[in-house]
Amino acid sequence: MEDFLIVVAILAFAGFAIFTWVWRFQRSDSLLRQWADQNGFRIISQEYRSVFTGPFFWTTSKGQTVYYVVVKDSDGNTRGGWVRCGGWFFGLLSDNVDVSWEY
């Protein structure tokens, strides 16, 4: 019986870890899409950045995600920059999106 409970606990932990990992990237993608729609951009490419987070390196919490994006605006101009999703304290539970343009 004790072995069964250990296996159940391990499976529950693994299931929770997978769920939170999937939710994290779905939520980030949702925030990116909302931000792009609200600003009239079409996302050409997006790359998740976990270590090199550009201008957000010193100011990003573990609950936030950072992407390098290339977008096209309504006039057809292409822009590239860094987008941080989530707030510093509440992470991805927040709707905050910050951007720092490179070009």
Is residue 69 a contact partner of residue 81, using CB atoms and an 8 Å limit?
Answer: yes
Q: Which amino acid is at 23?
A: W
Report the alpha-carbon distance of residue 67 to residue 77 in Å, rounded.
20
Query: What's the token pair of residue 60?
Result: 């990003």
Q: Is the pTM of this model over 0.75?
A: yes
Average pLDDT, the chain: 96
Share of the chain above pLDDT 70, in %: 100
Q: Binning pLDDT at 50, 70 and 90, where does residue 1 land? A: confident
Q: Is the dihedral of CA 41, 43, 48, 54 positive or negative?
A: negative
Query: What DSSP string describes 18-43?
Result: HHHHHHHHHHHHHHHHHHHHHTT-EE
Q: Binning pLDDT at 50, 70 and 90, where does residue 2 land? A: confident
Query: In whole angstroms, what separates CA 10 from the centre of its chain?
Result: 27
